[in-house]
Amino acid sequence: MFSKLLIANRGEIACRIIRTAKRLGIRTVAVYSDVDGDALHVSLADEAIRIGPAPAAESYLAIGRIIEAARSMRADAIHPGYGFLSENAEFAEAVENAGMVFVGPTPAAIRAMGLKDAAKTLMESAGVPVVPGYHGEEQDANFLAARAAEIGYPVLIKARAGGGGKGMRRVERQEDFAAALEAARREAEAAFGDGSVLLEKYLTKPRHIEVQVFGDRHGNIVHLFERDCSLQRRHQKVIEEAPAPGMTAEVRRAMGDAAVRAAQAIGYVGAGTVEFIADVTNGLWPDHFYFMEMNTRLQVEHPVTEAITGIDLVEWQLRVAAGEPLPKKQADIGIEGCSFEARLYAEDPGRGFLPATGRLAHLSFPDGSARIDSGVRQGDTITTYYDPLIAKLIVHGPSRSAALNRLQAALKKCRIGGTVTNLDFLIRLTEEQEFRAGRPDTGLIDREIERLTAPVVPDDEALALAAIISTGVLAPAVSADPWSSLGSWQIWGDAHRTIAIDQAGGRATVTLAARGRDQFAVRAGASTLPILVLERFEDGARLEVAGQKRVIRFAKDGDTLTLFHNGRNLVFHLPDALTGGHGSEIADDELIAPMPGLVKLVRVGAGEAVSKGQPLVVMEAMKMELTLAASREGTVASVHVAEGAQVSEGTVLVTLMEEAAQ
């Protein structure tokens, strides 16, 4: 076994690898960029070394710097994690050429599966069914448009390199094909350095089912059953489960055999995942699933496989890389119970899942009821440089319904303050009837998107609690706050204070009246609630609300207040009383950056006429590309940014002439 392992990654996967390596007695080395010097993975490792500035291209994607770091730390193996360089054949070769072991497949296997078009051709020859489509070398736009017409709409444009939903576009109509192709190519080039694409027939009711495979250097290959990853948005997985619901022994055997044939075709070594798309229009059938791609690395969702098999996949990776045979044969691997994983992100579902940034002013997870894989701690900052994953919550139960109930309960116990998250979106997904009934498909989220992302409107009690928290009277050092020192008597009656609160896209006005020390009457909506403060904590208080005693928890960071109320994280914003809260209103003649990021393309210039919905600027942040369009018809007055500029949220990018002046 290895004596020292360098992890060429960051975040939760680096932390995950470090924990298993330590259990096996292997010393670990973390690498970090300039913004990650105090990150959790750095503190967990035995040693750490800086590899460059914050941009990934200058640090976590810099092969030479990582190899030099490993040499200087005298590591004898490198684990790539997932993402970044994990499926880069040049990196695997560089590791081997430096005399170290790459914890993953051979460079040849990575290359064989790294380009989806070549992989599909190889799979066809190995007898693995593939999705109807085009995966040839010709990349002329007109040629691809003709092939798409032959395949029949809807079609899926997919980058031949990489993964994670980057460089992927679903096209419903022929007239939309050219623009979608251009966007997919541009995104693929930025993410993978390869703008080539392939085309696939888009199945109208598909399920995404993948099979975990493992091979060793002695010719042994097994599968560890399947995972269902059908709950997706923008082609990125949201909630995964194992085993797949409704899976029959016949289909499982057919998929498992196909996955093993795929791995055998390239002499696969290590952990890999063979992804299939299944047409479930008439249910799951052994002749209605197709090869999509193979991920030559550990998957984000690997914990659900670990939960149902009892196998530590990172340990297997390390043992296989060290030359050991697989610890188990196929007949020795079984399924026990069901497992779910939910990906908790800093993103705003109500704004098209835009990545969010901010300091994690409060972060707590349920104790014992769920496995938490996270790379951040309370007080850490979510930046624009990397994926905004906060944590993965993994649960296990004796049945699917029991496991799903545990997932829902665990999500409701999460408390996150300081940034917008997809937590409520995940909770609503666990309540979705089609999903609960075991009928997920990749279109489910899109069909229910309005309901799943609708803002949570706080009840009167939540508004009252938010208002009283905003005054500062619940802070432990309450005597320092002038509002808390107000007595119950003044010449014109009780002391009153009116507070404006923004939440769920609207503003509420709440009135507080002091009735005595630590006693208040709060009017919110149609209710007037008597509130008595009984005890104060650092992040909460014990109150008596309308005669009922309860403990509340909250996090306040600047003008953002997060109230943890009835299993929900309610985010409130406290407008500036001096401006009346109108300073952030945006006129429809300004195109505003909805998130911090990089300006990739500027499609217009001053004096140009534009139509409503016309793309004006393309931005990129957190590995995601966003096209910003004109809100109305008009003429461009000025363009305020250039391509390549890094802008903050709220930056004015383009201004249209006032309608009266045109």
Phi, psi of 510 (to 5 degrees): -120, 140
- Cβ atoms of 570 and 555 within 8 Å: the answer is no
Number of Cβ within 10 Å of residue 431's Cβ equals: 12
Give Cα 536 distance to the centre of its chain.
Answer: 35
- Cβ atoms of 407 and 342 within 8 Å: the answer is yes
In 471-578, alpha helices (H): none
The first and second tokens of residue 441, run together, are 């498909």
Contacts of 362 (CB under 8 A, 6+ apart): 378, 415, 416, 417, 418, 539, 554, 555, 562
d(CA 627, CA 618): 4
Phi-psi region of 310 (alpha: psi -120 to 50; beta: other; left: phi over 0): left
d(CA 320, CA 36): 30
Q: Residues 297, 406, 428, 523: which is the catalytic one?
A: 297
**Residues 459, 462, 467, CA angle at the centre, nearest 5°?**
125
| 297 noted as active-site residue | yes
Report strand pairing: 4-7 vs 77-79: parallel
d(CA 390, CA 418): 12
Number of Cβ within 10 Å of residue 141's Cβ equals: 12
d(CA 112, CA 103): 18
Give Cα 342 distance to the centre of its chain.
Answer: 9
- Widest Cα–Cα separation across the chain: 91
- Cβ atoms of 69 and 59 within 8 Å: the answer is no
Which residue type occupies 52? G
**Tokens 């209103």 appear where?**
585
Report strand pairing: 27-33 vs 47-52: parallel
d(CA 384, CA 55): 9
Q: Which of 225, 209, 198, 199 lies closest to 279, judged by CA?
A: 209
Contacts of 602 (CB under 8 A, 6+ apart): 616, 617, 639, 641, 642, 643, 654
Cα–Cα distances in Å, from 271 out to 109, 326, 358?
A: 12, 11, 34
Q: Which residues are catalytic?
A: 297
